């Protein structure tokens, strides 16, 4: 087999066979295929696309390029959840205990935040003592015993994805739907998931700005998952404004605890109930989404989901008392109010720039190696559609310095107040099964 023939084939719009895709992935991972040939193929894929079968073959070739987590000794259907990333997206912290409390084992691998988006691992580290490094054995044992565990991404999974992603980054081939779909799905499958629920974000703060692209990506991923025997569902959800009210690590842990108590923000709660019921369906604990939703509401109302979050914290080295006393979490020195400059209605809350405002306070990283301040962030007091009077508090900045002008101006600039009332954006869009 010659790489040049594969490039020509894809350039002409033909489909690659499974053997050809494996040849490319293995050759590139072992440095037998040079960057320039891999780049040419990626660009041909960018323009010509891939069939559902090619995408499934590509995904599995990437999975097989490295180690895979073996969760077979955990009883039951192992369900994973993935969000394509957003601002203030606290759902994983809530869903892990929520779904586990309904009996679905959740063995979760999470990542860190970069740029305007946050990461679950950083949020968990706001809990003093919480460690995210467990051996595979400890990870599996904890899920068997307690139904839940959250750890950092293991570095030896999907090496082909790591290498291809770096190349895509510098060859303008990141925003190719087949390449994104196979990249995301390969990581979920290598992490051992039997079933996967995907939250594909759309809007200003999301990777996929348009609804059409988000839908295409969701359909591709659902197709890949089901093609390779992992029951997969997806939803499209809005990321034109931040999710919930809190953005920042400690602040989002508090928001997660509130939501597990049943007193969280409405949008965040609703998204967790929608994703959670899908997790119960693909995890074979509920027959229907309605039944799943009822089960989730039950474990919120009777406190078992919150207590299980406490159990997770305790098992991984933290102080479970924080679930009843969030004052034990790191707090910022200053709370600075951002006030409405005029009366009217909130018409926009640019998620991207509000994410940047939080990052500049120290809640996120501009660069992969930046150190973050777990206590800082932003709490929104208004959302799109709310009416405001001049002088009302739009948001509160939590900071360890009084010099917050840059973040404050970003908030003033991107929280837009207009004359006409607007409806809040629709939070949940299409639901995609097969």
Q: Which helix (H) or strand (E) holds 21?
A: helix 18-29
Among 84-92, 313-321, 404-412, 419-427, the segment contacting Ca ion (CB under 5 A): 84-92
Query: Taking the complex as a whole, how short is the minimal distance between the CB of residue 355 and Ca ion, in angstroms?
Result: 11
- Which of 203, 199, 200 is CA-nearest to residue 240? 203
Q: Does 214 bind ligand URA (CB under 6 A)?
A: no
Is 79 within 8 Å of 285 (Cβ atoms)?
no
Q: Does 90 bind Ca ion (CB under 5 A)?
A: yes
Position with the least CB separation from ligand URA: 183
What crossing angle do the helices spanning 177-190 and 35-48 adopt, rounded to 10°?
Answer: 110
State both tokens at 65.
């390029």
User: How far apart are the C-alpha atoms of 106 and 91, rounded to whole Å?
Assistant: 14
Among 87-95, 150-158, 302-310, 406-414, the segment contacting Ca ion (CB under 5 A): 87-95
User: How far apart are the C-alpha atoms of 131 and 121, rounded to whole Å?
Assistant: 9
Alpha-carbon distances, residue 202 vs 179, 238, 239, 352 (angstroms): 18, 5, 5, 12
Query: Taking the complex as a whole, how short is the minimal distance between the CB of residue 167 and ligand URA, in angstroms?
Result: 11
State both tokens at 68.
């895979």
Q: For ligand URA, give the closer residue by CB, 162 or 326.
A: 162
- Residue 385 has φ and ψ, to the nearest 5°, of 105, -20
Any idea what DSSP says for residue 163? H
- How many helical (H) and strand (E) elements, i.e. helices and strands, does the chain have? 16, 13
Is 121 within 8 Å of 152 (Cβ atoms)?
yes
Among 88-96, 112-120, 148-156, 352-360, the segment contacting Ca ion (CB under 5 A): 88-96
Q: Does 220 bind ligand URA (CB under 6 A)?
A: no
* Residues near ligand URA (CB under 6 A), total: 5
Interface residue with ligand URA among 90, 142, 183, 269 (CB under 6 A) is 183
Catalytic sites, residue numbers? 82, 161, 168, 183, 187
Residue list 283-342, contact with Ca ion (CB under 5 A): none
Q: Which of ligand URA, Ca ion, none binds 90 (CB below 5-8 Å, type-dependent)?
A: Ca ion
Interface residue with ligand URA among 44, 87, 180, 190 (CB under 6 A) is 180
Interface residue with Ca ion among 246, 357, 376, 388 (CB under 5 A) is 246
Q: % helix / strand / coil in the chain, to the nearest 5?
A: 45, 15, 35
Q: Does 85 bind Ca ion (CB under 5 A)?
A: no
User: How far apart are the C-alpha atoms of 252 and 376, rounded to whole Å?
Assistant: 10
Chain centroid, CA 129 distance in Å: 23
Among 50-58, 138-146, 180-188, 424-432, the segment contacting ligand URA (CB under 6 A): 180-188
User: Could you tell me which residues come within 8 angstroms of residue 342 by beta carbon, excluding any fewer than 6 positions away?
Assistant: 390, 417
User: Taking CB under 6 A as the rule, which mask of x and - marks residues 138-177 in contact with ligand URA?
Assistant: ---------------------------x------------
User: Taking CB under 6 A as the rule, which mask of x and - marks residues 186-205 in contact with ligand URA?
Assistant: --------------------
Query: Taking the complex as a whole, how short is the minimal distance between the CB of residue 91 and Ca ion, in angstroms?
Result: 9
Residues that bind ligand URA (CB under 6 A): 165, 179-180, 183-184
């Amino acid at each position: 087999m010659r790489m040049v023939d594969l490039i020509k084939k894809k350039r002409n719009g033909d489909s690659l066979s499974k053997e050809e895709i494996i040849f490319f992935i293995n050759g590139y991972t072992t440095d037998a295929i040079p960057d320039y040939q891999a780049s040419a193929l990626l660009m041909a894929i960018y323009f010509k696309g891939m069939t559902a079968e090619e995408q499934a073959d590509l995904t599995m070739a990437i999975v097989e390029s490295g180690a895979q987590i073996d969760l077979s000794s955990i009883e039951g259907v192992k369900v994973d959840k993935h969000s394509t990333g957003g601002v203030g997206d606290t759902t994983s912290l809530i869903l892990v205990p929520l779904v586990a409390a309904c009996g679905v084992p959740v063995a979760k691998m999470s990542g860190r935040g970069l740029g305007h988006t946050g990461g679950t691992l950083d949020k968990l580290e706001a809990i003093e003592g919480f460690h995210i490094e467990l051996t595979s054995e400890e990870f599996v044992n904890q899920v068997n015993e307690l139904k839940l565990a959250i750890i950092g991404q293991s570095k030896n999974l999907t090496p082909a994805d790591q290498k291809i992603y770096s190349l895509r980054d510098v060859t303008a081939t990141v925003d190719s739907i087949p390449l994104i779909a196979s990249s995301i799905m390969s990581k979920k499958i290598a992490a051992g998931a039997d079933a996967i629920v995907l939250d594909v974000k759309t809007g200003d703060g999301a990777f996929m700005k348009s609804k059409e692209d988000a839908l295409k990506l969701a359909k591709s991923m659902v197709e890949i998952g089901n093609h390779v025997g992992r029951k997969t569902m997806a939803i499209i959800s809005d990321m034109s404004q931040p999710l919930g009210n809190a953005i920042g690590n400690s602040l989002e842990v508090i928001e997660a605890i509130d939501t597990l108590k049943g007193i969280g923000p409405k949008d965040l709660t609703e998204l967790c109930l929608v994703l959670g019921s899908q997790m119960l369906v693909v995890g074979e604990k509920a027959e229907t989404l309605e039944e799943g939703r009822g089960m989730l509401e039950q474990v919120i109302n009777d406190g078992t989901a919150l207590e299980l979050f406490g159990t997770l914290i305790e098992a991984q080295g933290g102080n479970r008392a924080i679930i009843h006393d969030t004052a034990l979490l790191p707090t910022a020195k200053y709370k600075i109010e951002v006030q409405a400059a005029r009366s009217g209605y909130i018409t926009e809350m640019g998620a991207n720039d509000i994410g940047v405002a939080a990052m500049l306070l120290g809640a996120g990283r501009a660069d992969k190696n930046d150190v973050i301040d777990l206590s800082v962030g932003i709490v929104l007091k208004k959302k799109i559609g709310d009416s405001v009077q001049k002088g009302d508090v739009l948001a509160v900045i939590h900071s360890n310095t009084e010099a917050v002008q840059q973040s404050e101006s970003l908030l003033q600039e991107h929280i837009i107040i207009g004359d006409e009332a607007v409806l809040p954006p629709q939070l949940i869009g299409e639901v995609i099964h097969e």
